Structure 1
Amino acid sequence: MSRNEVFIFGFRGFPEVQGGIETHVQHLAPRLVARGHRVTACTRSPYVPADTKHWRGVRLLRLWTIRNAYFETLLHSLICAVAAGVRRPALVHVHGIGPALVTPLLRLMGLRVVVTHHGEDYDREKWGLAARTVLRAGELLGMRFANKRIAISRSIERLIASKYGKPCDVIPNGVQFSYPPMESGQIEELGLEPGRYLLTVGRLVPEKRQLDVLRAFVAARLPGWKLAIVGRIDHQNAYADQLATEAAQADNVVMTGFQTGETLRQLYAHAGLFVLPSSHEGLPIVLLEALSYGLPVLVSDIPSNLEVISDRRRTFKMGDVAELTAKITALTAEPEPPLERHAVGRDNIRDYDWSHIAELTVAAYADTLAPQRAQRQQKAALRSAPARLATITASPSASHRLNAGE
């Protein structure tokens, strides 16, 4: 057993793999390494090149799985659990309630387990009854059998307490603040003009509700404005097909695909308004990123969004396209001064610094491992007790004290 190795899984892979959990682990794992942990991240074979073995000090263990919306996660989690049983790390950190289905197996193998609850995935619109049942089972097993539970938001903490009566640490998603780039060449190549486009970022799946933004944008009829939809599909679905069809029929809608690096930075930096219409989020990293660039935002009124945005002028009833249209019109009519935008952004993200989040995670690990370390110390003390007693009794002065009854 490696006394400081952390074995993590529950995500597709990183770096630059689309997804909230993927982004979370990409930022967190190297910071755990910097704080003294050996981190082994289990990635899925369809998403990470075979020759990628290490990244910023993190060991990437690429394990096979099939690329399938229904079986990919479960199969990969089982393989990861077996690998953890062989490697015997000090601690296993499982991300997400689907992968948490293997928590009892990990515990049976004598491993210490931390599970991070990133959101109620069974509420996602794409899942049918069977998938929802498996995800609910994963949540139940993960929350009941983990040595420690982590929630990424207060709303998830309340859910865990009410459903399972279990305590958990709240450690949110984070954001890395960076100064907005002045360059705009990348977005201009996409046909976008700085300050004159709406931006929405996320996977093209039903719960992200990009269709709501598209229909509201068309209804708003904003002269000279465009809508940029950033993201791609992970698995073919009817929703993405419908979105592509309506985008092709609309004027001034740009589907950029998945973007990273400088292009994504410019997309955030130069947007006129960021819109997040989701029906389901854990704690949206894309919203934190938008705020870090000082973007004015407009979000659906789901609990995770309201944890970050309390200004009701910047929220709308989820699924209400008419209200979304009206607020898009109002917010684009009166742009905020750049200095005010950046002040609002900094105020909103001050609690979401990745370095602080890494410190909280390291503390959670230490708390989880404390009983194990105490047990090792006790065993070591018991093993060394006879030797210490022999040393004491062999000493003349000690023998005199013992005979004297001292």
Structure 2
Amino acid sequence: MYTLIPPLGARPSERSVIFVGLRGVPEIQGGVETHVAAISARLAERGWRVEVLGRAPYLRSRRPYSWKGVTVTPVWAPRSRSFEALAHTALGLIVAARRNPDLVHIHAIGPALLTPLARLLGLHVVVTHHGFDYERQKWGRLAKAVLRAGEAMGMLFSHANIGVSKGIVDSVRHRFGVGATFIPNGVENPFPQQDMSCLDRLTVAPRRYVLSVGRIVEEKRHLDLIQAFERLGDPSLKLVIAGTADHAGRYQHAVEAAAAATPGVVMAGFQRGEALSQLYRHAGLFVLPSSHEGMPMVLLEALSYGAPCLASDIDANLALALGQDSYFPLGDVDALARAMRVKLAAPNPAEGAQRAARVLDSFGWGAIVDRTTEVYESALLGWRVGKARHGRAAFRSRVEFGGR
């Protein structure tokens, strides 16, 4: 599946883009990683020369390799929750400057703190805002301040911005006075019907388990879900938690302890590909109790399989307009337990099929890549026009003062 190769050399007839700010591709846990994997492979199919600079500790090889026409290059990063993204992005931008691509695409507001460095290195930059990461529970006051600064730097110094939700686009326009293009996360066409080997391995029965998918981090609120599941008091049900923590810590240990103390909870670890597809397809209920989401990719994935879904009433989830019976008040464990009981008692396959069709029609990756390439072309056009009109001195002035 993977071919080890040296970094690709430039071919003048191709557009080129380098992705920075993520752990890597493919099949690496995280919404940003899933997003970039889908877009990068489709850009390569369209003739773009695409490279993803991934964080070496997360990749399967320490040498560059090719995946679906995408060059994946490991770049050193420390295994540190606080410094990993910034250190890796700084090194990645230096690597990118040596490649001289048409564009560098930075993902997430943490890595976007280094957008001014990218500009000073002469790179043409697009930034995707995936969510207000400073609202995540895991970050302290200093980290939240750094993330707010990253948001500002990314929005003010890039050549073009993308927001994965309309709320992000509106917020950026209001607070920074800059435009951003709304391009949501997408979903793949579901895997065809498979066997149930993953269910057998986890000893769960079709339609008799509640599913949670995502990293083990505070804002996903697994403890709320475990408590609500316990209150169902149904020994025939199980709760499958698919995901793991990138960095060990108190929250991970708390979730593992709560799972061990609650009969029926299965810690499945990180699941991908066909195994994850089986879990979505046969779930009796998918639950997303998060306190923070940018654009909830796992919820979109669950909907695309027709799974019954229940989500917290935060803005990012409400934007999908699933109906009042598909939401519960954030943090209200009793309300979550009641809603789970109602959903599990009255499955509605017809509603699930209708939602799946709507999600696949509205969030297909083909249209998303079309819109992304339009942003790329506008960023390149804006760069060329600005440079022709104002010259190098004016460009330096824009970098110093945050102009576009």
Q: TM-score, normalised by structure 2?
A: 0.90
1:292 equivalenced with 2:304 (yes/no): yes
CA shift for structure 1 position 374: 5.1
Q: Which residue pairs with 1:31 in the alignment?
A: 42
Note the alpha carbon deviations across 1:42-76, whole angstroms, 9 max, x for none.
01110112145111111112111111111111100
1:43 equivalenced with 2:54 (yes/no): yes
Contact 1:207 1:280 in 2 (8 A): yes
Unpaired runs of 5+ residues, structure 1, are 379-406
Q: Which residue pairs with 2:343 in the alignment?
A: 331
Q: Which consecutive aligned stretches of 4+ in structure 1 deviate over 6 angstroms post-superposition?
A: 375-378
Distance 1:52 1:294 in 2: 38
Contact 1:308 1:348 in 2 (8 A): no
Q: Which residue pairs with 2:138 in the alignment?
A: 126
Distance 1:368 1:347 in 2: 31
Q: Which residue pairs with 2:240 in the alignment?
A: 228
1:317 equivalenced with 2:329 (yes/no): yes
1:353-364 map, 5 Å: 353-364=364-375
Q: Which residue pairs with 1:11 in the alignment?
A: 22
1:350 equivalenced with 2:350 (yes/no): no
Distance 1:57 1:329 in 2: 46
Distance 1:135 1:349 in 2: 32
In the alignment, which of 245, 268, 271 is matched to residue 259 of structure 1?
Answer: 271
1:370 equivalenced with 2:381 (yes/no): yes
Distance 1:97 1:368 in 2: 19
Contact 2:63 2:73 in 1 (8 A): no
Distance 1:51 1:222 in 2: 49
1:187 equivalenced with 2:196 (yes/no): no
Contact 2:169 2:180 in 1 (8 A): yes
Q: What amino acid sits opposite 2:287 in the alignment?
A: V
CA shift for structure 1 position 107: 1.2
Contact 1:196 1:226 in 2 (8 A): yes
1:91 equivalenced with 2:93 (yes/no): no
Contact 2:109 2:130 in 1 (8 A): yes
Note the alpha carbon deviations across 1:288-320, whole angstroms, 9 max, x for none.
110110001000011111111330110011111
Q: Which residue pairs with 1:384 in the alignment?
A: none
Q: What amino acid sits opposite 1:198 in the alignment?
A: V
Distance 1:57 1:376, change over 3 A: farther
Secondary structure at 1:229's aligned position in 2?
Answer: strand
Q: Alignment identity in percent?
A: 44
1:77 equivalenced with 2:86 (yes/no): no
In the alignment, which of 217, 234, 243 is matched to residue 205 of structure 1?
Answer: 217
CA shift for structure 1 position 110: 2.3
Contact 1:180 1:293 in 2 (8 A): no
Q: Which residue pairs with 2:159 in the alignment?
A: 147
Q: Which residue pairs with 1:281 in the alignment?
A: 293
CA shift for structure 1 position 375: 7.3
Q: What amino acid sits opposite 1:98 in the alignment?
A: G
CA shift for structure 1 position 223: 4.2
Whose radius of gyration is greater, 1 or 2? 1
Distance 1:75 1:375 in 2: 31
State the number of aligned residues. Answer: 378
Distance 1:376 1:121, change over 3 A: closer
Q: What amino acid sits opposite 2:358 in the alignment?
A: D
- Greater Cα shift, 257-266 or 293-302: 257-266
Contact 2:159 2:382 in 1 (8 A): no
CA shift for structure 1 position 162: 1.7
Q: What amino acid sits opposite 2:361 in the alignment?
A: R
Q: Which residue pairs with 2:187 in the alignment?
A: 175
Secondary structure at 2:78's aligned position in 1?
Answer: coil
Q: Which residue pairs with 1:397 in the alignment?
A: none
Cα RMSD after superposing both structures: 1.8
Distance 1:59 1:182 in 2: 30
Q: TM-score, normalised by structure 1?
A: 0.90
Unpaired runs of 5+ residues, structure 2, are 1-9, 390-404
Contact 2:235 2:264 in 1 (8 A): no
